[in-house]
A and B are shown apart, each in its own frame.
Chain A
Amino acid sequence: MGLFDDFAKQRVFAVQEFTLLSSRALGNVFRSPHYATDIVRQMDFIGFGSLPIVVLTGFFTGAVLALQSANTLSTFGETSLTGQLVMLSLVRELGPVLTSLMVAGRNSSGMASELGSMVVSEQIDAMRALGTDPSKKLVTPRLVATVLMLPMLTIISDFMGLLGGFATSFFIIRLNPGQYWYSAYQSLEFEDVFQGLLKPFVFAFIVALVGCYYGLTTTGGTQGVGRSTTQAVVAASVLILVSDFFLTKIILWLLA
């Protein structure tokens, strides 16, 4: 019972700490000082740095999606709808979720390990001793940069997925290129774009805040840094998938 109590207390305490960190990081957006250089540096690291994995993931997801869907659609003699299926699957779900998962794998872990190393080497304490609030200097720039970059990366990933789907349709399934692009374009509606961009916006908060939270709460030296890094990736990935379900439910309810 005691063990259960301790575990429950730790979890509640973690939620409280995470909520406090999140509210401080958000509040800092409206409080000076603002670290514009750090935001730009993080945008470069998170946005430009994640480009190769996002491009590759998007392209091959679209390619395999076209391959699988064409196989099923051919049963009904509707392979011409491949473009539509690829487009909707990518824009509504796979683009935002896979891009966020990839960015979480790369950046939540990066944030957790960088901030964790700063904690164990007392750099965070030194920063506070020198009059800088670590949540302003370290967390808010990462949050702002991720919120700005993740939707853009998702758009790029969606586009690359469409290209991948087109490559499969044209070179393997031998579909008419015009047919692919026409069915893809015609199927897209405002609601799809809306949810396709709202999701990465929400996921960006998870990627940045989870990474920073695990980094800043690191204990136990270098071993602790490794543990925080793993926990950050696992927690961010699970939270993205879970929140995707609820977000989709809410969006569908709103749009209905």
Chain B
Amino acid sequence: MTERLAQETVVEFDRVTLRFETKAVLREISFTLQRGETKIVLGAAGSGKSVLLKLTMGLWQPDSGRITVLGEEISHRGEDELFVVRRKIGMVFQEGALFDSLTIGENVGYVFERLPAVSPEEAERRAREALRFVELEQTFDLYPSQLSGGMRRRVAIARAVVGQPELMLYDSPTAGLDPITAARIMTLIVKQRDVGRVSSLLVTHRVQDAIQMARSYYDARQENLLPAGQDGARRDTHTRFLVLREGELVFHGSLEELAAQRDPYLQEFLA
């Protein structure tokens, strides 16, 4: 039973604390993310949301506590050891973080540079496939500077999913985008959740995105998002919420539980 549970837990934070100089950015954070589950991380600017993702990726190390990702304890590992875990994770950075000097195709296929088992032909095929997933295959030979902000964000999603990750980390993927592009990106994220059955941590400021994620599912036939309760049988979108306030976890639960909270800080988010 223990082994089964350990296999199902994709991410586990156990009393994790991180300080920048004297200021605690995250304090005693504990939560788990199960396989196939999505956790939406809400919080005001500077509450530690992006830090949480970077700790999950092993980009930063906690001052205390333990972080376990895909069964591996990553809290104090070297870069080479972390690569084994990181190759199973896809991360979408806030501004896309595409490499300016590489073409879109090279950006998306970059992860295969460290995987000699994947031939250049296979790497290109998979990069094109990932770009097709975000409907940007035609940009393969272009450079990031030739794309709009929304397109760069979609390429970043393609780069994150190309290695068929078991865990996706999204850092404010719709921040600063117009509503149409934001909706398109949210569709891709829900599609990745429902079609790929990938666990994910999604950081966002936009509550409408979070609600859409919790109440919609991707319909492969219509290639669009539909309300989870539309056909009578309510679907479980496996989406739960984490709310951070000044580095502390102040809420962990479902959308309905969040809506029922009386805390003014939490209510402000849903207002």
Residues on A close to B: CB < 8 A?
33, 121-123, 125-133
In the complex, what residues of A have CB within 8 A of residue B113's CB?
130-132
Q: What is the bound-complex CA distance between A33 and B79, given in angstroms?
A: 14
B93/A122 in contact, CB under 8 A: yes
Given contacts A131-B86, A131-B87, contact A125 B114 (CB under 8 A): no
A126/B99 in contact, CB under 8 A: yes
B86/A133 in contact, CB under 8 A: no
Binary interface encoding of chain B residues 146-165 relative to chain A, with 1 for a CB under 8 A from any of its CBs, else 0: 00000000000001000000
Q: What is the bound-complex CA distance between A43 and B93, given in angstroms?
A: 31
Residues on B close to A: CB < 8 A?
54, 57, 59, 79-80, 83, 86-87, 89, 91, 93-95, 97-100, 110-111, 113-114, 159
> Shortest CB–CB separation between residue B113 and chain A, in angstroms?
7
What 5 A-B pairs are tightest by C-beta distance, nearest first? A126-B97, A122-B97, A131-B114, A131-B83, A122-B93
> Shortest CB–CB separation between residue B96 and chain A, in angstroms?
8
B79/A126 in contact, CB under 8 A: no
> Shortest CB–CB separation between residue A131 and chain B, in angstroms?
4
> Shortest CB–CB separation between residue B205 and chain A, in angstroms?
17
Given contacts A121-B97, A131-B111, contact A126 B91 (CB under 8 A): yes
Besides A121-B95, A129-B91, A130-B111, 6 more A-B contacts (Cβ < 8 Å) are A123-B99, A128-B59, A129-B57, A129-B89, A130-B159, A132-B114
Given contacts A128-B59, A131-B87, contact A123 B100 (CB under 8 A): yes
In the complex, what residues of B have CB within 8 A of residue A121's CB?
95, 97
> Shortest CB–CB separation between residue A122 and chain B, in angstroms?
4
The residue from A33, A129, A131, A133 contacting B59, defined by CB atoms under 8 A apart: A129
Nearest A residue to B80, CB-CB: A133
Q: What is the bound-complex CA distance between A133 and B113, given in angstroms?
A: 12
B110/A130 in contact, CB under 8 A: yes
Q: What is the bound-complex CA distance between A8 and B240, given in angstroms?
A: 46
Q: What is the bound-complex CA distance between A126 and B110, given in angstroms?
A: 10
In the complex, what residues of B have CB within 8 A of residue A122's CB?
93-95, 97
> Shortest CB–CB separation between residue B179 and chain A, in angstroms?
24
Nearest A residue to B21, CB-CB: A6
Nearest A residue to B156, CB-CB: A126
